Amino acid sequence: MAACSSIPDFALQVVKKADRITVLSGAGMSAESGLPTFRDAQTGLWERFDAAALATPEAWNRDPEFVWSWYMWRHHLVRATAPHAGHLAVAQWEHSADVTIVTQNVDDLHERAGSSHVHHLHGSLFHFRCAQCSFAYSDEVDDSEPHESPRRPPRCQRCGGLIRPGVVWFGEMLPSEPWEAGVQAVDSCDVLVVVGTSGLVYPAAGLPQIAHEKGIPTIEINPDETPLSRECTVSLRMSAATALPILARSR
Protein backbone atom coordinates (compact mmCIF):
# COMPACT_ATOMS: atom_id res chain seq x y z
CA MET A 1 0.00 0.00 0.00
CA ALA A 2 1.41 3.44 -0.99
CA ALA A 3 0.48 6.43 1.26
CA CYS A 4 0.35 9.52 -0.98
CA SER A 5 -0.39 13.20 -0.39
CA SER A 6 -1.23 13.66 -4.07
CA ILE A 7 -3.20 11.29 -6.28
CA PRO A 8 -0.98 8.88 -8.24
CA ASP A 9 -1.89 8.42 -11.90
CA PHE A 10 -2.68 4.76 -11.22
CA ALA A 11 -5.61 5.78 -9.00
CA LEU A 12 -6.90 8.28 -11.56
CA GLN A 13 -6.75 5.59 -14.27
CA VAL A 14 -8.56 3.01 -12.12
CA VAL A 15 -11.40 5.48 -11.41
CA LYS A 16 -11.45 6.66 -15.05
CA LYS A 17 -11.94 3.09 -16.34
CA ALA A 18 -14.40 1.89 -13.67
CA ASP A 19 -18.06 1.25 -14.63
CA ARG A 20 -19.13 0.31 -11.08
CA ILE A 21 -17.81 2.47 -8.24
CA THR A 22 -18.61 1.74 -4.59
CA VAL A 23 -17.93 4.35 -1.92
CA LEU A 24 -17.66 3.27 1.76
CA SER A 25 -17.93 6.43 3.89
CA GLY A 26 -17.56 7.27 7.56
CA ALA A 27 -17.81 10.31 9.81
CA GLY A 28 -14.74 11.92 8.22
CA MET A 29 -16.77 12.26 4.99
CA SER A 30 -18.96 14.85 6.73
CA ALA A 31 -16.24 16.55 8.80
CA GLU A 32 -15.73 19.36 6.25
CA SER A 33 -19.47 20.10 6.50
CA GLY A 34 -18.81 20.90 10.18
CA LEU A 35 -20.20 17.67 11.65
CA PRO A 36 -18.14 16.22 14.53
CA THR A 37 -16.64 12.76 13.92
CA PHE A 38 -16.82 10.02 16.57
CA ARG A 39 -13.16 10.68 17.33
CA ASP A 40 -13.87 14.36 18.06
CA ALA A 41 -14.63 15.26 21.67
CA GLN A 42 -18.29 15.96 22.39
CA THR A 43 -19.33 19.50 23.34
CA GLY A 44 -22.12 21.12 25.41
CA LEU A 45 -24.30 18.90 27.63
CA TRP A 46 -22.43 15.81 26.41
CA GLU A 47 -18.79 17.01 26.70
CA ARG A 48 -17.98 14.51 29.44
CA PHE A 49 -19.21 11.56 27.33
CA ASP A 50 -17.66 9.79 24.37
CA ALA A 51 -19.96 9.21 21.44
CA ALA A 52 -19.67 5.42 21.56
CA ALA A 53 -20.91 5.49 25.18
CA LEU A 54 -23.95 7.57 24.26
CA ALA A 55 -24.86 5.49 21.18
CA THR A 56 -25.89 2.42 23.25
CA PRO A 57 -29.15 0.84 24.51
CA GLU A 58 -27.66 1.03 28.02
CA ALA A 59 -27.28 4.83 27.85
CA TRP A 60 -30.85 5.09 26.51
CA ASN A 61 -32.31 2.90 29.26
CA ARG A 62 -30.34 4.82 31.89
CA ASP A 63 -31.42 8.30 30.71
CA PRO A 64 -33.55 8.47 27.52
CA GLU A 65 -33.99 12.27 27.76
CA PHE A 66 -30.20 12.78 27.81
CA VAL A 67 -29.65 10.55 24.79
CA TRP A 68 -32.70 11.91 22.93
CA SER A 69 -31.35 15.46 23.41
CA TRP A 70 -27.98 14.41 21.98
CA TYR A 71 -29.70 13.14 18.88
CA MET A 72 -31.83 16.31 18.61
CA TRP A 73 -28.60 18.37 18.78
CA ARG A 74 -27.05 16.26 16.02
CA HIS A 75 -30.35 16.42 14.02
CA HIS A 76 -30.20 20.21 14.26
CA LEU A 77 -26.51 20.33 13.25
CA VAL A 78 -27.15 18.25 10.10
CA ARG A 79 -30.19 20.33 9.07
CA ALA A 80 -28.10 23.50 9.58
CA THR A 81 -25.26 22.37 7.30
CA ALA A 82 -24.85 21.36 3.66
CA PRO A 83 -22.97 18.78 1.54
CA HIS A 84 -19.43 19.83 0.54
CA ALA A 85 -17.48 19.48 -2.73
CA GLY A 86 -16.69 15.85 -1.87
CA HIS A 87 -20.36 14.84 -1.53
CA LEU A 88 -21.13 16.75 -4.77
CA ALA A 89 -18.27 15.04 -6.64
CA VAL A 90 -19.54 11.58 -5.67
CA ALA A 91 -23.07 12.54 -6.79
CA GLN A 92 -21.58 13.85 -10.07
CA TRP A 93 -20.00 10.45 -10.71
CA GLU A 94 -23.49 9.00 -11.25
CA HIS A 95 -23.58 10.70 -14.66
CA SER A 96 -20.85 8.44 -16.02
CA ALA A 97 -20.72 5.39 -13.74
CA ASP A 98 -22.90 3.08 -11.64
CA VAL A 99 -22.18 4.48 -8.15
CA THR A 100 -23.29 2.87 -4.88
CA ILE A 101 -22.67 4.51 -1.49
CA VAL A 102 -22.40 2.37 1.62
CA THR A 103 -22.28 4.74 4.58
CA GLN A 104 -21.84 4.44 8.33
CA ASN A 105 -23.15 7.99 8.62
CA VAL A 106 -26.62 8.77 9.95
CA ASP A 107 -26.71 12.18 8.23
CA ASP A 108 -28.43 12.78 4.85
CA LEU A 109 -25.64 14.74 3.14
CA HIS A 110 -25.02 12.17 0.38
CA GLU A 111 -28.71 12.28 -0.59
CA ARG A 112 -28.83 16.09 -0.35
CA ALA A 113 -25.81 16.21 -2.71
CA GLY A 114 -27.88 14.23 -5.24
CA SER A 115 -26.63 10.67 -4.73
CA SER A 116 -29.43 8.17 -5.43
CA HIS A 117 -28.02 4.82 -4.25
CA VAL A 118 -27.16 5.30 -0.57
CA HIS A 119 -27.24 2.41 1.93
CA HIS A 120 -27.19 3.48 5.60
CA LEU A 121 -25.56 0.62 7.56
CA HIS A 122 -26.13 2.39 10.89
CA GLY A 123 -29.53 3.94 10.23
CA SER A 124 -30.56 7.59 9.95
CA LEU A 125 -31.09 10.64 12.15
CA PHE A 126 -34.26 11.32 10.13
CA HIS A 127 -36.06 8.07 10.92
CA PHE A 128 -37.76 7.44 14.28
CA ARG A 129 -39.63 4.52 15.85
CA CYS A 130 -41.11 3.39 19.14
CA ALA A 131 -38.49 1.85 21.44
CA GLN A 132 -41.15 -0.52 22.77
CA CYS A 133 -43.22 -1.68 19.77
CA SER A 134 -41.09 -0.36 16.85
CA PHE A 135 -44.09 1.47 15.38
CA ALA A 136 -42.72 4.07 12.93
CA TYR A 137 -42.97 7.68 14.12
CA SER A 138 -43.46 10.27 11.37
CA ASP A 139 -44.54 13.39 13.28
CA GLU A 140 -42.28 16.43 13.64
CA VAL A 141 -39.48 16.32 16.21
CA ASP A 142 -38.36 19.42 18.11
CA ASP A 143 -34.61 19.91 17.47
CA SER A 144 -34.73 23.67 18.12
CA GLU A 145 -32.04 25.48 20.06
CA PRO A 146 -30.95 25.96 22.79
CA HIS A 147 -29.62 22.48 23.49
CA GLU A 148 -28.75 23.36 27.08
CA SER A 149 -31.29 21.23 28.93
CA PRO A 150 -32.48 17.66 28.30
CA ARG A 151 -35.79 17.32 26.46
CA ARG A 152 -38.36 14.48 26.55
CA PRO A 153 -38.69 12.11 23.60
CA PRO A 154 -42.19 12.02 22.05
CA ARG A 155 -44.60 9.17 22.85
CA CYS A 156 -45.76 6.37 20.55
CA GLN A 157 -49.33 6.78 19.24
CA ARG A 158 -49.82 2.99 19.38
CA CYS A 159 -48.44 1.91 22.77
CA GLY A 160 -47.39 5.11 24.54
CA GLY A 161 -43.75 3.96 24.56
CA LEU A 162 -40.84 6.40 24.09
CA ILE A 163 -39.80 7.29 20.54
CA ARG A 164 -36.12 6.56 19.77
CA PRO A 165 -33.86 7.59 16.85
CA GLY A 166 -33.78 5.08 13.93
CA VAL A 167 -30.04 4.54 14.31
CA VAL A 168 -28.11 1.32 15.12
CA TRP A 169 -26.61 1.47 18.60
CA PHE A 170 -23.47 -0.44 19.65
CA GLY A 171 -24.50 -3.99 20.51
CA GLU A 172 -27.45 -3.85 18.11
CA MET A 173 -27.60 -5.82 14.86
CA LEU A 174 -27.38 -3.90 11.59
CA PRO A 175 -30.58 -3.84 9.48
CA SER A 176 -30.20 -6.71 6.95
CA GLU A 177 -31.28 -4.85 3.77
CA PRO A 178 -28.59 -2.14 3.76
CA TRP A 179 -25.98 -4.64 5.06
CA GLU A 180 -26.64 -7.12 2.26
CA ALA A 181 -26.77 -4.33 -0.32
CA GLY A 182 -23.44 -3.08 1.07
CA VAL A 183 -21.75 -6.47 0.82
CA GLN A 184 -23.11 -6.88 -2.74
CA ALA A 185 -21.90 -3.42 -3.77
CA VAL A 186 -18.36 -4.06 -2.45
CA ASP A 187 -18.27 -7.57 -3.94
CA SER A 188 -19.31 -6.43 -7.43
CA CYS A 189 -17.52 -3.08 -7.93
CA ASP A 190 -14.56 -2.23 -10.19
CA VAL A 191 -13.07 0.10 -7.56
CA LEU A 192 -13.83 0.67 -3.86
CA VAL A 193 -13.26 4.16 -2.44
CA VAL A 194 -12.97 4.11 1.38
CA VAL A 195 -13.36 7.67 2.68
CA GLY A 196 -13.32 9.18 6.16
CA THR A 197 -13.50 6.05 8.28
CA SER A 198 -11.19 4.96 11.12
CA GLY A 199 -11.97 1.31 10.30
CA LEU A 200 -12.62 0.45 13.97
CA VAL A 201 -16.35 -0.30 13.99
CA TYR A 202 -17.54 -3.75 12.87
CA PRO A 203 -18.96 -5.26 10.80
CA ALA A 204 -18.57 -2.18 8.50
CA ALA A 205 -14.78 -2.18 8.93
CA GLY A 206 -14.69 -5.70 7.48
CA LEU A 207 -16.08 -4.65 4.09
CA PRO A 208 -12.78 -3.54 2.46
CA GLN A 209 -11.41 -7.04 3.17
CA ILE A 210 -13.99 -8.42 0.71
CA ALA A 211 -12.61 -6.21 -2.09
CA HIS A 212 -9.03 -6.92 -1.03
CA GLU A 213 -9.59 -10.70 -1.26
CA LYS A 214 -11.12 -10.34 -4.75
CA GLY A 215 -8.21 -8.17 -5.98
CA ILE A 216 -10.56 -5.20 -6.47
CA PRO A 217 -8.51 -1.95 -6.30
CA THR A 218 -9.27 0.05 -3.15
CA ILE A 219 -8.49 3.73 -2.68
CA GLU A 220 -8.50 5.08 0.90
CA ILE A 221 -8.99 8.83 1.50
CA ASN A 222 -8.03 9.84 5.05
CA PRO A 223 -5.61 12.45 6.42
CA ASP A 224 -4.51 9.80 8.93
CA GLU A 225 -3.36 6.19 8.57
CA THR A 226 -5.93 3.61 9.69
CA PRO A 227 -5.96 -0.18 10.24
CA LEU A 228 -7.46 -0.35 6.72
CA SER A 229 -4.56 1.48 5.05
CA ARG A 230 -2.32 -1.54 4.58
CA GLU A 231 -5.12 -3.49 2.85
CA CYS A 232 -5.80 -0.63 0.41
CA THR A 233 -4.11 -0.39 -3.00
CA VAL A 234 -3.57 3.35 -2.58
CA SER A 235 -4.01 5.37 0.66
CA LEU A 236 -4.39 9.10 0.02
CA ARG A 237 -3.41 11.33 2.97
CA MET A 238 -5.94 13.89 1.85
CA SER A 239 -9.35 15.16 2.92
CA ALA A 240 -12.65 14.09 1.34
CA ALA A 241 -13.48 17.55 -0.04
CA THR A 242 -10.03 17.77 -1.69
CA ALA A 243 -9.48 14.26 -3.09
CA LEU A 244 -12.97 13.32 -4.33
CA PRO A 245 -13.38 16.23 -6.80
CA ILE A 246 -9.94 15.42 -8.29
CA LEU A 247 -10.87 11.73 -8.66
CA ALA A 248 -14.23 12.77 -10.17
CA ARG A 249 -12.53 15.02 -12.72
CA SER A 250 -10.50 12.00 -14.00
CA ARG A 251 -13.69 10.69 -15.68
Q: Distance between CA 151 and CA 87 in Å, rounded? A: 32
Task: Tell which one of 17, 158, 230, 249 touches Zn ion (CB under 5 A).
Answer: 158
Check if the beta carbon of residue 60 is closer than 8 Å to that of residue 231: no
Three-state DSSP string of 126-140: EEEEECCCCCEECCC
56 in a labelled binding site = no
**Residue 232 marked ligand-binding:** no
CB 195 within 8 A of CB 207: no
Give the distance between the most distant pair of CA atoms in the chain.
58
**Which of ligand BV8, Zn ion, none does 38 bind, CB closer than 5 to 8 A by kind?**
ligand BV8
Q: Any binding-site annotation on 198?
A: yes
d(CA 167, CA 75): 12
Catalytic-role residue among 75, 119, 120, 122: 122
- Of residues 42, 132, 184, 242, which one binds Zn ion by CB under 5 A? 132
122 assigned to active site: yes
User: Which positions lie near ligand BV8, rule CB under 6 A?
Assistant: 26-28, 31-32, 37-39, 52, 55, 104, 106, 122, 167-173, 195-198, 200-204, 221-224, 226, 239-240
Q: Using CA atoms, how far apart are residues 126 and 111, in angstroms rounded to an integer?
A: 12
CB of 117 to ligand BV8, least distance (A): 19
Specify binding-site residues for Zn(2+).
130, 133, 156, 159
Active site residues: 122
